[in-house]
C-alpha cells in the first residue's frame, strides 16, 4: 500500500497532467475540479487568416493500394486555405486559469481513416481524455506515432478493413504529435494534448471558438504544423464573446506543398 502510494506520487511528480494525478493520489476527484459556470462563462472566437497566396496543394498518388487508388482524390493538407481562412490550426489557452483544474471528458476524440487519409487532419484532446482510432476503409491501415514527452506512450497498431476502435489516453500535454500509417506513407494527422478543455481547431473557413471560459485574462496560442506558434493575450468578460484573430503567411521555402 505504502509503496503503491509512493509510486503513484513519483509518477505524478513526473507528469504535467496535475489533474489526472491528483485524482489518482486522492482516490476521488470530488472538489478538485472546477466546473464550468454557464451563468458567467465567456468565449474566445476568431479567424486564422492566411495572408497572400497559399502554397498549392499537391495531388497524392495513391495507386500503390488499389483501394486507395479508387478513392476520391487526395491532396496534401499542410495548407488548407478557403476564402483567406487557414484550417487545421490548433488554438489553446496556455495561461490564465490560475490553479483551476478541469476534469478530462471521458468521451473519446475520434480519428478515422477514410479515403486513405486521417480524418480529421488535426485534433485536440485534453490530457487524460481518450483518443479513438477507427478504420472506415476496405483496406488495412495502421496508426503509428511516437510522442516526444516520455510519459506519453507511443502507439503502433494495425487496423483491419472497416475495423479498429482502439482507444489510447495520453496523460501529458504535448503539441502536434505526428500520426502516420505504416501502409500508406502519405497519410498524416496531428494530435494536440492540452492541459485543460479550452482549445479549438480552426474549421474550413479558418474560424475557431473556445467556449466555457471563466471571466479573466488569458494567454492563447495558435499552432500550425508548418508555420509554428503565435501568441496573444485576450481578456474575457462575463458572458462575453471576445475576438482574437491570427494571421499567417507562407514561408519562402514553401513555394509548393
Ligand atoms: Cu493507411
Average of per-residue pLDDT values in the chain = 90
Q: 85 alpha carbon to ligand 1 midpoint, in Å?
A: 28
- The count of other CB atoms within 10 Å of the CB of residue 228 is 11
Does residue 31 sit within a domain? no
Report residue 28: phi and psi, to 5°. Answer: -155, 145
Overall domain count for the chain: 1
Does residue 50 sit within a domain? yes
Model confidence at 29, in pLDDT bands (50, 70, 90)?
Answer: low
Does residue 146 sit within a domain? yes
Contact 127, 16 (CB under 8 A): yes
Taking the C-alpha atoms of residue 88 and residue 18, their distance in angstroms, rounded to an integer, is 27
Give the residue-averaged pLDDT of 32-36. Answer: 95
Does residue 7 sit within a domain? no
DSSP β-bridge partners for residue 224:
228
**What pLDDT does 98 receive?**
96
| pLDDT at 11 exceeding the cut of 60 | no
Taking the C-alpha atoms of residue 83 and residue 81, their distance in angstroms, rounded to an integer, is 7
Q: For residue range 201-253, what is the model confidence (pLDDT) as tens digits? A: 999 999 999 999 999 999 999 999 999 999 999 999 999 999 999 999 988 77
Q: 165 alpha carbon to ligand 1 midpoint, in Å?
A: 15
Chain centre distance of CA 52: 26
Taking the C-alpha atoms of residue 170 and residue 178, their distance in angstroms, rounded to an integer, is 14
CATH (domain of 154): 2.60.40.420
DSSP β-bridge partners for residue 145:
155
Q: 225 alpha carbon to ligand 1 midpoint, in Å?
A: 20
**What pLDDT does 255 receive?**
56
Taking the C-alpha atoms of residue 113 and residue 164, their distance in angstroms, rounded to an integer, is 10
Length of the chain in terms of residues written: 257
Does residue 6 sit within a domain? no
Q: 181 alpha carbon to ligand 1 midpoint, in Å?
A: 5
Distance separating the N- and C-terminal Cα atoms of the chain: 55
Q: 79 alpha carbon to ligand 1 midpoint, in Å?
A: 21
**What pLDDT does 1 receive?**
32
Structural domain boundaries, residue 163: 36-249
Taking the C-alpha atoms of residue 147 and residue 142, their distance in angstroms, rounded to an integer, is 16
Q: For residue range 135-175, what is the model confidence (pLDDT) as tens digits? A: 999 999 999 999 999 999 999 999 999 999 999 999 999 99
Q: For residue range 46-79, what is the model confidence (pLDDT) as tens digits? A: 999 999 999 999 999 999 999 999 999 999 999 9
**What pLDDT does 15 receive?**
41
Q: 191 alpha carbon to ligand 1 midpoint, in Å?
A: 17
Q: 65 alpha carbon to ligand 1 midpoint, in Å?
A: 9
| pLDDT at 134 exceeding the cut of 60 | yes
Does residue 160 sit within a domain? yes
Least confident of 21-25, 96-100, 188-192: 21-25
Residues within 5 A (CB) of ion ligand 1: 141, 181, 183-184, 187
Q: Which three cell numbers stand for residue 75?
A: 491532396
Q: 223 alpha carbon to ligand 1 midpoint, in Å?
A: 25
Does residue 18 sit within a domain? no
DSSP β-bridge partners for residue 143:
157
Q: 131 alpha carbon to ligand 1 midpoint, in Å?
A: 18
**What pLDDT does 253 receive?**
72
Q: 164 alpha carbon to ligand 1 midpoint, in Å?
A: 12
Give the residue-averaged pLDDT of 9-13. Answer: 38
Q: 183 alpha carbon to ligand 1 midpoint, in Å?
A: 5
Q: 88 alpha carbon to ligand 1 midpoint, in Å?
A: 20
Taking the C-alpha atoms of residue 85 and residue 236, their distance in angstroms, rounded to an integer, is 23
Q: Above pLDDT 70, what percent of the chain?
A: 87
Amino acid at each position: 500500500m505504502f509503496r503503491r502510494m509512493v509510486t503513484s506520487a513519483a509518477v505524478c511528480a513526473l507528469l504535467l497532467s496535475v489533474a489526472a494525478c491528483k485524482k489518482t493520489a486522492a482516490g476521488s476527484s470530488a472538489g478538485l475540479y472546477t466546473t464550468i459556470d454557464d451563468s458567467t462563462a465567456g468565449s474566445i472566437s476568431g479567424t486564422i487568416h492566411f495572408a497572400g497566396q497559399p502554397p498549392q496543394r499537391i495531388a497524392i498518388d495513391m495507386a500503390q493500394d488499389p483501394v486507395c487508388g479508387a478513392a476520391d482524390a487526395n491532396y496534401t493538407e499542410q495548407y488548407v486555405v478557403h476564402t483567406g481562412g487557414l484550417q487545421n490550426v490548433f488554438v489553446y489557452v496556455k495561461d490564465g486559469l490560475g490553479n483551476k483544474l478541469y476534469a478530462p471528458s471521458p468521451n473519446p476524440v475520434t480519428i478515422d481513416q477514410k479515403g486513405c487519409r486521417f480524418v480529421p487532419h488535426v485534433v485536440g484532446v485534453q490530457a487524460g481524455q481518450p483518443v479513438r482510432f477507427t478504420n472506415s476503409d476496405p483496406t488495412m491501415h495502421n496508426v503509428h506515432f511516437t510522442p516526444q514527452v516520455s510519459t506519453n506512450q507511443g502507439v503502433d497498431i494495425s487496423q483491419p478493413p472497416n475495423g479498429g476502435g482502439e482507444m489510447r489516453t495520453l496523460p501529458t500535454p504535448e503539441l502536434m504529435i505526428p500520426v502516420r500509417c505504416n501502409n500508406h506513407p502519405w497519410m498524416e494527422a496531428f494530435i494536440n494534448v492540452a492541459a485543460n478543455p479550452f482549445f479549438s481547431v480552426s474549421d474550413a473557413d479558418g474560424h475557431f471558438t473556445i467556449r466555457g471560459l471563466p471571466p479573466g485574462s488569458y494567454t492563447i496560442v495558435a499552432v500550425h504544423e508548418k508555420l509554428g506558434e503565435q501568441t496573444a493575450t485576450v481578456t474575457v468578460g462575463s458572458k462575453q464573446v471576445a475576438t482574437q484573430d491570427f494571421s499567417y503567411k507562407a514561408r519562402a521555402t514553401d513555394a509548393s506543398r
